[in-house]
A and B are shown apart, each in its own frame.
Chain A
């Protein structure tokens, strides 16, 4: 089971969660949408154990979690392949170099194994981060706006690749982009805040229609935007 049980949490003297409960669907990709500063990233950080909670329980086994942030988090002093091997080297396990090379081949970087991150473009760096996430081989992937800093075309390519490679895993993804949510997620949650605290903040928008092609994606995106708008109007 993955989620929150009556969790309370404050950040910079501001209460973000008050007795908040939510269970995520396992084996599926869930996108979390919401306005800036509402606490989307904090939710992921709480799940990852990066912030301490005041009360309640985080329902997660930390050893099952892999993290992919907005920035690629590549260590500049390590080569591409050594960055992918980090889940082993940082935990004292023997690194499986062959597997890392295989994953880099899968993300199209087989020819850049020994270069340093500064020699790669933003899209390539995110692909290395994706390979590292896959290498860690954990069933739950937390993604905090992983493609926010990429250009439209690179973003599109990486979304397709991510959808393909992370199939079957439990993915919780924070995003600002409804199109990204439609493209990747099977469940979409909208976060909204009350004046003092964020209480019962998840409004499940349900399953988006699966986009079969570009037209399907546009239709799904339009449908989601309509529902977001309707939700905003009803909550005013």
Chain B
């Protein structure tokens, strides 16, 4: 843990040093503000940044709830019933052929400028990795574990909850890790296409007004949210997954 933290500090130190060097090489403020200017943006408008971050975070949380929930339900249904697999698997795969970027304006048109369109855009993006990895995990449970449950005459329900689900958890967490990284992308995409609040909206507005320092501050907030969610998933993973030895 200590070494991971020190690695993170080394990395951040290198990024800031490179940033300072670039800004002192004569790049104008409106293209690349100095770290000090970004710091000032944080100090001068903490309420604005926090309130916009809270909106974006709630959109991300809702998108995760619906995207992950939907992914889990469809994966479980496909793994449990052959007819559902035959029906839904091609649809799930085909859904990824259409880029969500092209759907975002339509979703804003249908669902309005409120939180709903952002949640749906992000949920559509992060649903896929969760669904596919969990489905894969549920189908790849070692046969010997299933055989044991079968010889003990476990019911289908107990076999699912006590064997297949825990066995598929490593796959699920891999999908969830990807989902929390994709969630900010989906939410910001929705905010860029049409919104009146949120970090994506703030970045668009401040960039248009040449307030690049505020745009950078919003970007850093967004990264912070993604890191926070990723940390939560890592914690859950450590708690729920068994060590591999």
Q: Is the CB of A48 within 8 A of B162?
A: no
- CB of B166 within 8 A of CB of A67, answer no
Taken together as a complex, chains A and B put the C-alpha atoms of A62 and B150 apart, in Å, by: 10
Q: Is the CB of A116 within 8 A of B148?
A: no
Q: Which residue of A is nearest B147, CB measured?
A: A50
Q: Which residue of the partner chain A has the closest CB to B155?
A: A92
Chain A CB within 10 Å — which of B144, B155, B159, B166 has the most? B144
**Size class of B's contact patch?**
20 to 34
Interface-lining segment among B17-25, B60-68, B99-107, B237-245: B237-245
Q: Which residues of A contact B32 (CB under 8 A)?
A: none
Report whether A66 and B242 are in contact in the complex, using a CB–CB cutoff of 8 Å.
no
| Complex CA–CA separation, A67 to B151 (angstroms) | 7
Contact of A90 among B154, B166, B243, B244 (CB under 8 A): B154
0/1 interface trace, chain A 109-130, chain B, CB 8 Å (1 if under): 0000000101100000000000
Residue of B nearest to A118 (CB): B245
Give the distance in Å from the alpha carbon of A89 to the alpha carbon of B155 in the complex: 11
Q: Chain B 123-166 against A: per-residue CB contact (8 Å), 1 yes, 0 no?
A: 00000000000000000000011011111111100110011001
Q: How far apart are A123's CB and chain B's nearest CB, in angstroms?
A: 16
**A73 near B162 (CB under 8 angstroms)?**
no
Complex CA distance for A69 and B162, rounded to whole angstroms: 19
Give the residue name and chain of the B residue nearest to A76 (CB). Answer: B242
Is A69 within 8 A of B148, CB to CB? Answer: yes
Q: Flag A147-172 by CB within 8 Å of B: 1 or 0 each.
A: 00000000000000000000000000
Given A45-B147, A48-B147, A49-B150, 10 extra CB contacts under 8 A = A50-B147, A50-B150, A69-B144, A71-B144, A73-B148, A77-B241, A89-B158, A90-B149, A90-B154, A118-B245
